[in-house]
Structure formats: structure tokens, C-alpha cells
């Protein structure tokens, strides 16, 4: 039985996060100064955990977040953020905010094949996450950290913990908060929920 402890860490702040613009897998933003500080606080908090392996999405903001902990994480596109299509980076107008809010409401009502702006649906994100998780579960690593993105992390938490995907907003997050899960060889259990206290130590 391959038991594991898996940490899911959201990346640090970018300028688009700060200004409230939608940022998906189509925008490869770097961390801003606040995001770099958050990454250093994650390092201070987790540097004593004996991780066997670090994983990131293919996007630079996750690799920069991990850089104090690991200079060479394994990149997996399966952990990329959801694509928001033509809404990525757009000015957060009232019309754009309404489109976003309406889409989230449809997802909560179970319309999980719906996408926004020609991007991805939650079901599509889940399907590309599955091979990445299968690869991680097949190896002998015991402690793993995955740095990824807010919406993608919500989707991943739902299906790993056997919640319906329309419950995804029940998993809050902020930049550089994390969840941890235990895997007993058959199923996942939630060990730590949206941990943020390390971010108050700066």
C-alpha cells in the first residue's frame, strides 16, 4: 500500500491577482513583490517538512513560488489553472464581472460542462488532472508538494475527496495558502484546511 501525504499550495500574488483581473492558464504572469514575500513565508513555514518531490504547473508563477523550496520542480500541465478563454487579463468591467458570476452560479447548479470565453469547463480540467495524479500515486514518494492555482485546486480537491464538482467553492483559498491530504493507498482524507497562519508572520 503506497501511503502519501500531499500538500496543495496556491501560488503567490501576481499583479493581475492584485487588480482583480481573471488569470488563467493562458497568461504566464510572474509574482509581484507581495507574491515573492509570500513565497519566502511558505519556505520559512515548510522548509523542515521532508518532502520527497515537488510539482508545479507549467506556469511561471507556480515555479517562482516554489523556488525557495525547490529549484527544479516537476512541471505538469495537468496542474495548470483553468482557461478563462478571452476573459483572461480583461478589464474587470461590470459586464465581465456579471459573466464570471453567472458562470460560477451555473457551475454551482451542476452545469459543469459550461466554459467561459471559449475556455475550459470544470469537467475538462478534471480530466486533464487525472493523469497527473495517477502518475504521482504510482511512485514511491511519501511526501509531496504541488504548487498550482485557485480554481484548479478547488476542482482537484473536490474529486480527490469525493465531493461533487459543484461543491468546489466550498474550498476557499488565498495566495500561498495550502491544503494537505493523506492518502492511505485507496482514498484521500483531508488533513489541513486552507492553512494561512504562516502568511501573518511577515
pTM exceeding 0.85: yes
Name the architecture of domain 4-21+29-82+122-200.
3-Layer(aba) Sandwich (3.40)
More confident position, 22 or 10: 10
Of 6, 5, 11, 40, the residue nearest 173 (C-alpha): 11
Tell me what pLDDT residue 144 has.
98
pLDDT of residue 95: 87
Binning pLDDT at 50, 70 and 90, where does residue 202 land? low
Across all residues in the chain, what is the average pLDDT? 95
Structural domain boundaries of the chain? Answer: 4-21+29-82+122-200
Tell me the pLDDT band of 180, cut-offs 50, 70 and 90. very high
Amino acid at each position: 500500500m503506497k501511503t502519501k501525504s500531499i500538500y496543495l499550495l496556491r501560488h503567490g500574488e501576481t499583479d493581475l491577482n492584485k487588480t482583480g483581473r481573471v488569470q488563467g492558464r493562458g497568461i504566464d504572469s510572474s509574482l509581484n513583490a507581495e507574491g515573492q514575500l509570500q513565497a519566502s513565508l511558505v519556505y520559512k513555514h515548510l522548509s523542515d517538512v521532508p518532502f520527497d518531490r515537488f510539482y508545479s504547473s507549467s506556469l511561471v508563477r507556480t515555479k517562482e513560488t516554489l523556488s525557495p523550496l525547490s529549484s527544479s520542480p516537476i512541471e505538469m500541465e495537468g496542474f495548470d489553472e483553468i482557461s478563462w478563454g478571452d476573459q483572461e487579463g480583461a478589464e474587470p468591467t461590470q459586464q465581465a464581472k456579471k459573466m464570471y458570476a453567472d458562470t460560477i452560479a451555473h457551475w454551482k447548479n451542476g452545469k459543469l460542462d459550461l466554459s467561459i470565453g471559449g475556455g475550459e469547463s470544470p469537467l475538462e480540467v478534471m480530466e486533464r488532472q487525472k493523469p497527473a495524479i495517477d502518475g504521482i500515486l504510482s511512485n514511491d514518494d511519501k511526501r509531496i508538494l504541488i504548487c498550482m492555482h485557485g480554481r484548479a485546486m478547488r476542482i482537484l480537491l473536490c474529486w480527490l475527496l469525493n465531493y461533487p464538482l459543484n461543491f468546489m467553492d466550498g474550498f476557499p483559498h488565498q495566495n500561498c495558502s495550502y491544503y494537505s491530504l493523506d492518502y492511505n493507498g485507496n482514498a484521500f482524507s483531508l488533513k489541513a484546511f486552507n492553512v494561512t497562519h504562516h502568511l501573518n508572520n511577515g
